[in-house]
């Protein structure tokens, strides 16, 4: 049981939105398709749902080509960015909608609806109308409704991005818990790397309509395929040449290993370089900005140039001061 995409392309009026995407999603896993807005990731999702005809390539489930199967017969469920609850139906009727389509008896339907509402943490919301719910509650109802389908595959289109930051964080953890509890295979589309990290098992990075990288979340995170992907995944800078060699060496890595002549680029997370009086690097603070957790610095490191660094928020350093820095190896990545 798995979803397989074989060199799928979709174009609008001749302009390609996605091109030659190959993907496999094994049963029971959650795959996040991550990409900046306009990268074609939503088009990919709509193509899988059958809402967008493919220009070429195959989308198959368990080896069965889905090309001529309309959306409603695919057995998938799609949850939209803004939920798309039916405004004229109550919460219970919204969740029961797919059950009604399948002529589930009313007693069984009621039971299943309250089960699903329990699962998403909205016990007792049956009689409310969507208009009276908060954004987070609406998304939970939409999720319950999608799960009511018992879909072979759950498609989630930016499920949390319409919510505010704190709610998003909490709901991401809930979403992960709910998907694991239900054992659902899911394809999640998002532009928010933290959302992808919190919810998914696997990560596929899409850029300009092409699949750039795919693999388990941790792997993709630790080894971005190229500089642009690294920056998109939250790495602060990508260093090259001597700068890469010096910072890597300070972190105990060698960007030249194997190939002694060429230096591979080094992706550095913001938190990889830390203020430390005993650290191997030295430099002059260019800018400092306080955040609740830490002090964010830009330091002109000798022989390297400007890099981002962090310090404990109790540290008192200002522009012009000379500081020493250490490098955290786990937060570096040597790019291919």
Partner 1 sequence: MERRHLALIALAAIPVTVLAIFFVLPVTGMVGRGFRPEGHWDLVGVLDVLKRPRVHRVLWFTVWSSAVATSLTLVLGLPAAYVLHRLAFPLRRLVRAALLVPFVLPTVVVGVAFRELLTGPLAWLDLDGTPAAIIAGLVFFNVAVVIRAVGAAWESLDHRPAEAAAALGAGPWAVFRTVTLPALRPAIVGAASVVFLFCATAFGVVLTLGGLRYASVETEIYLLTTNLLDLQGAAALSILQLAVVTLLLAIGARLRPTPTAVTRVPPRPRRPRLADLPQILVTVALLAFVAAPILALVVGSLKDADGHWTMANYRALNTLGTHQALVEPVTTALDLSLRIAIDATLLSVLLGLLVALSVTRRAHTRAERRVRGALDALFMLPLGVSAVTLGFGFLVTLGRPPLNFRDSPWLVPIAQALVALPLVVRTLVPALQGIDDRQRQAAASLGAGPLRRLVVVEVPVLFRPVLAAAGFAFAVSLGEFGATSFLARDENATLPVVIFRLIGHPGPMNYGMALAASCVLAATTAAVMLVVERVRAPLLGGVL
Q: Is-contact 8 199, C-beta < 8 A?
A: no
Place of tokens 């919460």: 91
Residue among 146 and 239 whose Cβ is closer to partner 1: 146
In the bound complex, what is the minimum distance in angstroms from residue 140's beta carbon to partner 1?
Answer: 15
In the bound complex, what is the minimum distance in angstroms from residue 164's beta carbon to partner 1?
Answer: 18
Helix axis angle, 106-119 relative to 165-182, nearest 10°? Answer: 130
Going across the sheet that includes 56-61, the strands are 15-26, 2-12, 56-61, 64-65
Residue among 88 and 177 whose Cβ is closer to partner 1: 88
List, in sequence order, every residue forming a beta bridge with 120; answer none if it has no partner: none
CA 280 distance to own-chain centroid: 35
CA 296 distance to own-chain centroid: 25
In the bound complex, what is the minimum distance in angstroms from residue 128's beta carbon to partner 1?
Answer: 18
Give ∠ CA 84-89-91 in degrees, rounded to 5: 80
In the bound complex, what is the minimum distance in angstroms from residue 80's beta carbon to partner 1?
Answer: 6
Contacts (CB under 8 A) with partner 1, residues 30-89: 49-51, 70-73, 75-78, 80, 84, 86, 88
Residue among 52 and 174 whose Cβ is closer to partner 1: 52
Choose which of 36, 102, 218, 287 interacts with partner 1 (CB under 8 A).
102
Q: Is-contact 2 27, C-beta < 8 A?
A: yes
Site string for partner 1, 302-321 (x = CB under 8 A): --------------------
Instruction: Work out whether 127 is an interface residue with partner 1 (CB under 8 A).
Output: no
In the bound complex, what is the minimum distance in angstroms from residue 99's beta carbon to partner 1?
Answer: 10
Q: Which two tokens stand for residue 315?
A: 């540290």
Q: Which two tokens stand for residue 64?
A: 């069965």
Choose which of 41, 109, 112, 145 interacts with partner 1 (CB under 8 A).
145
Residue among 77 and 212 whose Cβ is closer to partner 1: 77
In the bound complex, what is the minimum distance in angstroms from residue 178's beta carbon to partner 1?
Answer: 17
Choose which of 35, 40, 57, 98 interacts with partner 1 (CB under 8 A).
98
Residue 282, phi-psi category: left (phi > 0), alpha (psi -120 to 50), beta (remainder):
beta
Rounded-to-integer distance, Cα 117 and Cα 110, Å: 11
Nearest CA to 50 out of 161, 155, 151 is that of 155
Rounded-to-integer distance, Cα 60 and Cα 155, Å: 15
Binding-site residue total for partner 1 (CB under 8 A)? 24
Rounded-to-integer distance, Cα 156 and Cα 249, Å: 42
In the bound complex, what is the minimum distance in angstroms from residue 192's beta carbon to partner 1?
Answer: 21
Residue among 51 and 330 whose Cβ is closer to partner 1: 51
Residue among 135 and 280 whose Cβ is closer to partner 1: 135
Contacts (CB under 8 A) with partner 1, residues 146-185: 146, 148-149, 155
Residues that bind partner 1 (CB under 8 A): 49-51, 70-73, 75-78, 80, 84, 86, 88, 97-98, 101-102, 145-146, 148-149, 155
């Amino acid at each position: 049981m798995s979803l397989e995409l074989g060199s799928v392309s979709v174009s609008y009026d001749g302009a390609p939105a996605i091109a030659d995407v190959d993907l496999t999603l094994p049963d029971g896993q959650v795959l996040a398709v991550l990409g900046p807005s306009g990268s074609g990731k939503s088009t990919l999702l709509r193509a899988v749902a059958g809402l967008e005809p493919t220009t070429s390539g195959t989308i198959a489930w368990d080896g069965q080509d889905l090309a001529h199967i309309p959306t409603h017969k695919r057995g998938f469920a799609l949850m939209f960015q803004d939920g798309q609850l039916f405004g004229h139906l109550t919460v219970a009727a919204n969740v029961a909608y797919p059950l009604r389509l399948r002529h589930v008896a009313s007693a069984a339907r009621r039971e299943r609806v309250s089960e699903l509402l329990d699962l998403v943490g909205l016990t007792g919301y049956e009689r409310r109308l969507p208009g009276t719910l908060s954004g987070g509650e609406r998304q939970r109802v939409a999720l319950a409704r999608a799960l009511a389908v018992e879909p072979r595959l759950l498609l989630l289109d930016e499920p949390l991005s319409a919510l505010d930051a704190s709610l998003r964080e909490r709901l991401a953890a809930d979403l992960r818990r709910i998907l694991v509890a239900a054992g659902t295979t899911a394809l999640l589309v998002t532009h928010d790397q933290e959302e992808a990290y919190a919810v998914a098992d696997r990560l596929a990075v899409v850029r300009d309509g092409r699949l750039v990288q795919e693999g388990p979340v941790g792997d993709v995170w630790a080894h971005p395929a190229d500089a642009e992907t690294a920056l998109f995944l939250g790495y602060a800078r990508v260093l090259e040449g001597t700068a890469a060699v010096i910072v890597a060496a300070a972190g105990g890595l060698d960007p030249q290993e194997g190939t002694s002549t060429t230096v591979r680029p080094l992706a550095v997370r913001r938190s990889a370089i830390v203020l430390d009086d005993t650290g191997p690097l030295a430099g002059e603070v260019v800018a400092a900005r306080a955040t609740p957790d830490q002090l964010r610095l830009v330091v002109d490191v000798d022989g390297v140039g400007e890099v981002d660094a962090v310090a404990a928020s109790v540290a008192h350093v200002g522009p012009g001061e000379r500081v020493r820095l250490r490098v955290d190896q786990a937060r570096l990545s040597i790019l291919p």
